[in-house]
Amino acid sequence: MMRETLLAVRGDTFDPGQVRKEIEEIASAFGEYLALTGSRGSSKHSALGAVGKALQQARRAMRGDALFGYVRRIHEQTTRSTFTTDALQKLDDGLRKLDGLLSDAQKVPPRAIGEILSRIDYATYYNVRKREADFFTGWNKVARERLLASGVSAAGKAPKLKDARNGTLGEEWKKAAEDYLASTRIAETLAEEDEENTL
């Protein structure tokens, strides 16, 4: 949730709520990028990866092609890939919107940029964690339906996705896990995470 306070900027007040839509669009594009590349880790820093670095550089007034080039290099280092992908398109989309918002002094006065970047940072973090929770909630639903269809009570805990996926529970569960993963737009690395740490 974004707090709705007014910021005093050079004697004028600035309402960050005026750019809430833009903040949420940027966070959504960055969240999609991170889901497709497999943001990992329990800390905010590790979960945001290249996006967190982009926001740090934007705070230092890096804009335009310099920001795009810097973030592209971070992406290459973390993913070991230079190929254009759907994930990179989402990253570029978020960066374009971020650059446009911060470059428009009519919308965001220069002294309010730090506050806006903080809001984008936390909105992106929320987006990433919500996607993770939704991903595992979806798997639990699929697993419970599968248990019920096989005549087993689904009252207990559904098997973990990583256990189903590695074949420990048999080939049918492995196929169900792979089918679920293929039906989502999320990186395979997330499937290796421990659900209990993300829910």
Residues 24 and 113 in one domain: yes
Contacts of 159 (CB under 8 A, 6+ apart): 143, 169, 173
Q: Whose structure tokens read 């207990």?
A: 156
Name the nearest CA neighbour of 30 among 102, 104, 98: 98
Examine the fold and report which residue of 76, 100, 131 is the final residue of a domain before the chain moves on: 131
Domain that holds residue 144: 132-198
141-150 long-range contacts, CB within 8 A, separation 24+ = 142/176, 142/180, 143/176, 146/173, 146/176
Residue at 2 is within a domain: no
Residues 89 and 155 in one domain: no
Average model confidence (pLDDT) for the chain? 80
Residue at 1 is within a domain: no
Is pLDDT larger for residue 58 or for residue 21? 21
Distances from the Cα of 72 to the Cα of 43, 65, 69, 184, 194, angstroms: 22, 10, 5, 25, 29
Give the best-scoring range by mean pLDDT among 67-71, 93-97, 144-148, 164-168.
93-97
Q: What is the pLDDT of residues 34-64, one digit of tens each?
A: 888 876 667 777 788 888 888 888 887 767 7
Residue 169 has pLDDT above 90, yes or no: no
Residues 117 and 178 in one domain: no
Number of domains in the chain: 2
SS3 assignment, position 8:
strand
Residue 191 has pLDDT above 60, yes or no: no
Residues 51 and 145 in one domain: no
Q: What is the pTM of this model?
A: 0.76
Residue 199 has pLDDT above 50, yes or no: no
Residues 108 and 156 in one domain: no
Residues 112 and 19 in one domain: yes
Residues 126 and 144 in one domain: no
